[in-house]
Chain A
Amino acid sequence: MKFPIAAALIAVVLVLAGLGAWWMMVPEVVEAPAEPREPEAVAVADRTEEEDVAHRDLMAKKALEASCLVCHEMRMITGLRLTPAQWTAEVDKMVNWGAVVSEGDRRLIADYLARTQPVDAPPPAPELIALASVESPEIPPGDEDPIEGDAAEGEKLYMTLCSACHGPTGMGGELGPSLANRAIIGHTAAYNEIVQKGLRRMPPFGEVLKPQQQRDILVWLRGLPRDAVAAAL
């Protein structure tokens, strides 16, 4: 085997670090949420009803951020004004489309949105922007800056550290969005920042992956077939 022992050890450490980091994230994600409760049931001796509402709001916001912002930004939600039944239907639709939200959090989120964004509330003031000033990893760059890396090495690292969340073919999974063909992989700086610092549920890999290893993964991602969707259908 060509793999030197040192490298094997590093790999083991990486796996452990990755798993550790992943494990640390797990409770936030799959922790059984509080049973849906009526406000009366929640009221405990040391909390006022107001505090209960504030607490539930906080939990709802956390759940929203963890689950909904994987795929889109808050404005997708804050722009809407819906009835409780419509909010429930929207949350259910998103769960069917892959959002990971526990049964309890579903209700928590739907209740929160129905209360804070009721059907009769005025819409938020929209922001204005000049297209040229939009700097977003959602917008593919005109030219990807060329980077040097070893795609085979990148694939191994990806399969070990990334595929559990982002899927073995980069098409996304339960916890991480797709990366194949996505604009983000054209933005080296934004990619590096997310890999190094983490983002929402994603742990930071700055201490786990050397800069060259991060580049290796990016080179592999960029080499994925560009007709991923057509191929998957």
Chain B
Amino acid sequence: MVSVPEDRRADDSARPPAGSDRREFLGRAVGACLGAGAVAGGLFHGGPAAAQEADGEKAGRLIVRTLRPVNLESAPATLDSFLTPNDEFFIRSHHGAPTVNAETWEISVEGLVDRPLKWSIKDLEAMEPTTRSGVLQCAGNGRANFSPKVPGLLWQRGAVGQAEWAGIQLGRLLEEAGVKPEAAHVHFIGGDVPPTPKTPAFVRSIPIDRARHDDTLIALKMNGEPLPVLHGGPARIVVPGWAANNWSKWIRKLVVSTEEAPGVYMQSGYRIPRTPVPPGVDPDPKDLVPVTWMNVKSLITSPGLDAQLKRGPIEIRGVAWTGEGHVVKVEVSTGAGPDAEWREAELEDEPRQGSWRRFKLAWEPPAPGEYVLRARATDSEGQVQPETSPWNKSGYLWNGYDQVACRVS
């Protein structure tokens, strides 16, 4: 077991009440085990939620956060492959998806350009496509783990996925329009309409250098299919290595500017202090920077939370990714406490900026009982996944050790 403070050991919820539903108990046990993290950083898995996640893994379905607008989380078991199927891929919507007619959809560029231009989807399809894999992760993935708790959708482990994105390099479109030398940012304006005129539109921007980078695309396809509407179709931004707040959906207009995009979603949302500040302390606004590069992170996809395993050889599997660079190592611990042994897992897939790598490790449980499996990744920049992430008031970029409790009989 992970070290558990006395008051939590005494918690009745960690004891198997005679005759109670085993699943429910295990769910609570998971909560209690993970609750140990509350000392250092806090985890927020309740019993029923944990049990439900396990069900989702078996059924290969999505976890409902909200249906209006549509916010769905992937079940970790469905993230077990190199590419995540489109209909099992998490969905994040700030405002509802707009009506889409790909026949008449146009994307324009204006602002600090020599030639304001407009392209139809057909125009873009006629250009030479770039195809690449890339991890898309919500900036708030794992928000549920922060303690004290923060407002915002309580994503747990599955607001992440990897797809093969195909589209046109954004830099190429900007080049066609002729970017003026003083340009510093590109604003992304989508077709999604806020519910009231007082509600801010979801408008974002990225610096011009990132917009011109070879990796940055306007994607028209996801895993070989036309980009589904709920994933931003017919056209979304792809910024491999950067968190999903930069991957704007339903792109209608690009505005080249000297300034970052105005508005709540760029100027106060999706910002994080450069140096962490404790809860209750307001960070210096000048120290708040946009969430861009993801941090190094791993996810155990099998066994699932609350899995009931038979003794014998077990394969622990998962995926690991980072922002800048690529994952070079994933270690897995099946033991308890700070002295637990960490073993290096076997990494699959080519190391590539912005893509994840699968990992696996053979494990033979020495005895029946309850185990907590933990994973931590290291990237080519030397970042190591920490046990818990520094708290921030919006709950961004959680990358504490991934943990899965299971029972071996």
Contacts and interface: CB of A to CB of B under 8 A. Distances in A.
Interface of A: 70-73, 75-76, 79-83, 86, 89-90, 96-98, 119, 122-132, 134, 136, 138-140, 144, 167, 171-174, 177-178, 180-183, 185-186, 222, 226-230, 232-233
A177 B201 contact: no
B198 to A, nearest CB: 3
Contacts of A177: 195-196
B196 A174 contact: yes
Contact of A144 (B88, B99, B152): B99
Given A97-B198, A119-B148, A178 B154 contact: no
A97 B196 contact: yes
Interface residues of B, number: 65
Contacts of A185: 99
B152 to A, nearest CB: 8
A10 B181 CA distance: 61
Given A71-B199, A177-B195, A182-B96, A126 B229 contact: no
A136 B67 contact: yes
Nearest to B153: A79
Contacts of A134: 67, 70
Contacts of B53: 126
B195 A181 contact: no
Nearest to B393: A86
Contact of B151 (A73, A82, A226): A82
Nearest to B58: A128
Given A126-B52, A130-B87, A140-B99, 19 more contacts: A79-B65, A79-B153, A80-B152, A82-B149, A86-B149, A98-B197, A122-B48, A125-B51, A128-B55, A131-B230, A138-B67, A171-B193, A173-B196, A177-B195, A181-B193, A222-B99, A229-B191, A229-B201, A230-B191
Contacts of B253: 227, 230
B72 to A, nearest CB: 7
B151 A80 contact: yes
Contacts of A86: 149-151
Contacts, number: 190
A122 B47 contact: yes
Contact of B104 (A123, A128, A226): A226
A131 B197 contact: no
A125 B48 contact: yes
A139 B44 contact: no
Given A97-B199, A98-B198, A182-B96, A123 B49 contact: yes
B87 A131 contact: yes
A2 to B, nearest CB: 32
Interface of B: 31, 44, 46-49, 51-53, 55-56, 59-70, 72-73, 75, 87-88, 93, 96-101, 104-106, 108, 144, 148-154, 189-201, 203, 229-230, 252-253
Contacts of B104: 226
B49 A126 contact: yes
Contact of A129 (B68, B72, B96, B154): B72
Given A119-B149, A182-B96, A228 B193 contact: yes
A230 B55 contact: no
B28 to A, nearest CB: 9
Given A178-B196, A226-B191, A125 B252 contact: no
17 contacts: A71-B199, A72-B66, A73-B68, A79-B153, A97-B200, A122-B46, A123-B154, A128-B63, A128-B64, A136-B67, A139-B97, A139-B230, A177-B195, A181-B193, A183-B98, A226-B99, A233-B201
Given A75-B64, A75-B67, A86-B151, A172 B99 contact: no
B199 to A, nearest CB: 5
Contacts of B203: 233
A193 to B, nearest CB: 16
Nearest to A131: B87
A227 B252 contact: yes
Contact of A98 (B65, B150, B196): B196
Nearest to B48: A125
A131 B62 contact: yes
A126 B191 contact: no
A97 B200 CA distance: 7
A83 B46 CA distance: 18
A136 B70 contact: yes
B70 A181 contact: no
Contacts of A89: 151
Contacts of B63: 126-128
Nearest to A170: B193
A229 B372 CA distance: 48
Given A71-B195, A227-B253, A125 B52 contact: yes
B199 A229 contact: no
B49 A182 contact: no
Nearest to B70: A138
A112 B191 CA distance: 36
Nearest to A75: B66
A78 to B, nearest CB: 10
Nearest to A123: B46
Nearest to B144: A123
A101 B336 CA distance: 50
A230 B190 CA distance: 7
List of 7 A-B pairs having minimum Cβ-Cβ separation, nearest first: A98-B198, A98-B196, A122-B46, A125-B48, A71-B195, A172-B196, A177-B195
B61 A128 contact: yes
Most chain B beta-carbon neighbours within 10 Å: one of A90, A126, A226: A126
A172 B200 CA distance: 12
Contacts of B96: 138, 182-183
A129 B151 contact: no
Contact of A181 (B52, B99, B152): B99
